[in-house]
Chains A and B, each alone.
Chain A
Amino acid sequence: ELKVEQNPLFLSMQEGKNYTIYCNYSTTSDRLYWYRQDPGKSLESLFVLLSNGAVKQEGRLMASLDTKARLSTLHITAAVHDLSATYFCAVDPNNAGNMLTFGGGTRLMVKP
């Protein structure tokens, strides 16, 4: 059974600080997705990582994928309050099947 583990589960940080969220998964996959969810809302796609070594950046967020280590990271640079949300990584074990297995989420709170 595929397991996707995120850590930390909860992260409270000050504005302006940097931090990294980790996503480990237990099966071979070249496809990893990051989503953001605000309270009571649906999921918003952040990044799609499709190969080993893939790195994508959008604003203060940067995601990377190491398929050999089965690890993806989501790095936050100079956090701002608007980044407060829950972040999920998800793995597609069938590569292009889009039948995703999600991690448990990292709840991020950025304090002013």
Chain B
Amino acid sequence: ETGVTQSPTHLIKTRGQQVTLRCSSQSGHNTVSWYQQALGQGPQFIFQYYREEENGRGNFPPRFSGLQFPNYSSELNVNALELDDSALYLCASSPDLQRGGETQYFGPGTRLLVL
């Protein structure tokens, strides 16, 4: 059973650019959540996808958008990058939400630096 994988591992962009981060969920998991973790802080929930639909969203502007594909992999897109977007972006997958209370398994993260 493969774990959660993310790509790329590191990325440097300039202000105003756009970025796409990718996540492959753990085998058998149909729920993917994305989190942003600024340096020295706890992760903040961005949004969640369940069976290819956005299932919930945190307090992030619309320039943060996402997709989930039929194989349950996912993308996080950020437009018009700002300096404050520099952070570790974590993807987490979990089994079917209907089961309730399942733990999430986090990927290794993508470290984004915006200059």
Chain A residues within CB distance 8 Å of chain B: 4, 31, 33, 35, 41-45, 48, 50, 88, 90, 92, 94-105
Contact = CB atoms under 8 A, between A and B. Distances in A.
Contacts of A101: 45
A45 B48 contact: no
A43 B4 CA distance: 12
A105 B103 CA distance: 18
A83 to B, nearest CB: 19
Nearest to B95: A98
B101 A99 contact: no
B108 A41 contact: yes
B90 A100 contact: no
B42 A99 contact: no
Contacts of A4: 42
B105 A45 contact: yes
Given A98-B102, A104-B42, 9 more contacts: A4-B42, A33-B104, A42-B90, A44-B106, A92-B101, A95-B101, A98-B31, A98-B104, A105-B41
B101 A97 contact: no
B8 to A, nearest CB: 15
Nearest to A45: B103
A102 B69 CA distance: 27
Contacts of B55: 97, 99
A50 B55 CA distance: 21
**Which of A4, A44, A92, A100 is the most central at the interface, judged by chain B CB atoms within 10 Å of its CB?**
A100
Interface in B97-113: 97, 99-109
B28 interface: no
Contact of B43 (A31, A45, A48, A102): A102
Given A31-B101, A45-B104, A96-B101, A104 B41 contact: yes
A43 B90 contact: yes
Contact of B108 (A42, A97, A100): A42
Contacts of A31: 101
